[in-house]
Amino acid sequence: MGTSASNVASSSSWASPRVPLTCSREVEAALRSGAPVVALESTIVAHGMPFPENLKTALEVEALVRTLGATPATIAVIDGVARVGLNDSELKRIAELGERCAKASRRDLAHACGTGSTAATTVSGTMALARMAGVDVFVTGGIGGVHRGGESTMDVSADLIELGRTNVAVICAGVKSILDVPRTLEVLETHGATVCAYGVDEFPAFFTRASGSRAPLRVDTPLEAARVIDASLRLGLSNGSVFAVPIPSEHEALGQVVERATSQALREIETRKIIGREVTPYVLKRVAELTDGASLKANIALVKNNARIGAAIAVELAKLRKGVSAST
């Protein structure tokens, strides 16, 4: 269960009795002791997968993070309170609401809290709340980006702007394949976000290991990634970082099949005039239908793989912050 805001305020510099943000007891204890914590977003639970697969996956990802030595902190707004670390009933509530659950990016957080709403946090919303709570590592499926045709529509995800101003490390499978990868990388560069591919030279594209765009930087181990994050924090930089992990090759859901389904879904959104934040959920759902569920299986596999890597990075970062990391 979450602690009261006043209790959090008495022990943490980032909160006051009037701030509608609480940490679960598990997360608060980990943060106080300097133990590794991994933030997890809730939009992937509400909008990224159907029920009950979404709840099952969320619980399995949390269990996986714990098994690897870190504390999971799934983030959402529940009845107007931003919660860093959900209990099982809160997680089930978000999962059951599914697409009926509101989304909250940074721009929506004040409204959700001020109106007593329940909302699943997007990448940008999760980053903002993770930073407030003092969580440095965040695992998700993929980040948003520049939509295809974005040079004329200006449809650019708030995730990219958040990565330029909020110092949280985001471990993901790159950007969703429905997006314009080269332009996304350009926007990330413009906003000063650190972008590293993990173990590969090419920036991954969610369901597929290769996007055709070379990553600006590369890291090869959890410790190397942790050192980058630690250096960023020590330098006092305001920008975030992306560590893009390619989906395991054995789970690369028939990349060409998924891409063909994606192209069809994109044609459909133009015909139906679907825009903005409704685009990604529609396309992912439609691709899952067109590929007979193969993309959903791939999505679950990549999220779990990201959680493994993210937990390992968080563990190494905690060691570095305590000055006890291995020398190699």
Is residue 41 annotated as part of the catalytic site, yes or no?
Answer: yes
Rounded to 5 degrees, φ, ψ at 209 are -75, -25
d(CA 84, CA 2): 8
3-state SS of 119-133 is: EEECHHHHHHHHHHH
Cβ burial 144-183 (10 Å sphere, 16+ → b, else e): bbbbbebeeeebbbbbbbbbbbbbbbbbbbbbbbbbbbeb
Segment holding 39, helix H or strand E: strand 37-40
**What is the per-residue pLDDT for 327?**
43
* Cβ within 8 Å of residue 10, ≥6 positions away: none
First to last CA, the chain: 39
Pair of tokens at residue 285 = 């759902």
Contact (CB, 8 A) for 128 and 110: no
Annotated catalytic residue: which of 28, 41, 202, 316?
41
Domain boundaries of the chain, sorted by first residue: 1-134, 136-252+305-322
Q: Is it true that 1-134 and 136-252+305-322 share their CATH fold? A: yes
The secondary structure of 227-253 as a DSSP string is HHHHHHHHHT----EEEEPPPPGGG-T
CATH architecture of the domain formed by 1-134: 3-Layer(aba) Sandwich (3.40)
Contact (CB, 8 A) for 301 and 251: yes
Neighbours of 42 (CB within 10 A): 31
> For every one of its 328 residues, what pLDDT tens digit does the chain have, with 9 covering 90 and above?
343 333 333 333 334 456 689 999 999 999 999 999 999 999 999 998 999 999 999 999 999 999 999 999 999 999 999 999 999 999 999 999 999 999 999 999 999 999 999 999 999 999 999 999 999 999 999 999 987 676 766 778 999 999 999 999 999 999 977 788 999 999 999 999 999 999 999 999 988 888 999 999 999 999 999 999 999 999 999 999 999 999 998 887 666 687 789 889 989 988 998 877 688 778 878 988 898 878 888 889 999 999 999 999 999 999 999 985 444 4
CATH architecture of the domain formed by 136-252+305-322: 3-Layer(aba) Sandwich (3.40)
**What is the per-residue pLDDT for 258?**
79
Is residue 176 annotated as part of the catalytic site, yes or no?
Answer: yes
**What is the per-residue pLDDT for 11?**
33
d(CA 195, CA 106): 21
Annotated catalytic residue: which of 92, 176, 252, 316?
176
- Mapping DSSP to helix (H, G, I), strand (E, B) and coil, where does residue 219 land? strand
**What is the per-residue pLDDT for 19?**
67
Contact (CB, 8 A) for 179 and 211: no
Nearest alpha carbon to residue 163 among 146, 177, 180, 178: 146
